[in-house]
Amino acid sequence: MATRAIEVEDPKTGELTEAVYEHPLVIRLCHWVNAVALFVLVGSGLQIFRAFPSFGSKIPENDLIDWPKALALGGWLGGALQWHLTFMWIYIATGALYVGYQIFSGNYRQILFGPRDLSGVWPMVRHYFFFGPKPPSKEAYNPLQKHAYTSAIALGVLSVLTGLAIWKPVQFSWLAWLMGGFHLARLWHFLIMWAMLAFVFGHLVMVVLHGWNNFVSMLTGWKKDPEYPSS
């Protein structure tokens, strides 16, 4: 993998620190814009959900939950739809650009979970959850991280497809049909949102655990003192 690596020299001590260019600009831009869009879509989506907080019939209507208005965006159904129908384009555009750039640049190898990552899953699970020894880092991302990022991208694609099935159940009737009809597509769209939020939660926990240098790499692209050999 052609990750750019350099050595940074401290002018006083002459100490050398390694730094790698991990995240190209397009990826960083898409990451942050998409993160904002996701946040807006979840907030407005929950406001839309408040209009009919059920997946059953309208008559009789059995509400699942009275989702607090403070945790929703848009003020009312019409306002929330405006946010949702605006930011879905931003979400789709940055998502598509992100995936396209990953493929085009070959950068995807860094995060795509593949068959050769399977053997590394258990040692990593043991390390994260059962106090096992830390497996040696061979690449930028360990098998569990790759699994998480690959899943998040899959969830992103599914969120768009289920959304499309709800928004256009006639023009994309085949899509709605694949999901078991309009009615169920709405449920999948909702569940995929929670799966995505679970990813975001795990992602944020790991960002905190991995420290400052790791966080900065998504801002500047450069990761100082990486945990893995750069060549």
Residue 207 binds other proteins, judged by CB under 8 A: no
Least Å distance, CB 118 to other proteins, is 35
User: Cα–Cα distance between 51 and 49 in angstroms, integer?
Assistant: 5
Residue 103 binds other proteins, judged by CB under 8 A: no
DSSP code, position 117 = G
The gap between the terminal CA atoms of the chain, to the nearest Å, is 8
Q: Which of 2, 65, 70, 170 binds other proteins (CB under 8 A)?
A: 170
Least Å distance, CB 41 to other proteins, is 12
Given the rule CB under 8 A, which of 105-113, 117-125, 163-171, 193-201 is the region that contacts other proteins? 163-171
Given the rule CB under 8 A, which of 6-14, 95-103, 123-131, 145-153 is the region that contacts other proteins? 6-14
By beta-carbon proximity to other proteins, the closer residue of 28 and 127 is: 28
Separation in Å, CA 161 to CA 56, 104, 150: 21, 23, 17
> What is the sign of the dihedral through the CA atoms of 28, 34, 35 and 36?
positive
By beta-carbon proximity to other proteins, the closer residue of 121 and 200 is: 200
Q: Which backbone phi and psi does 165 adopt, to 5 degrees?
A: -65, -30
Residue 169 binds other proteins, judged by CB under 8 A: yes
Q: Which backbone phi and psi does 136 adopt, to 5 degrees?
A: -60, 140
Least Å distance, CB 89 to other proteins, is 6
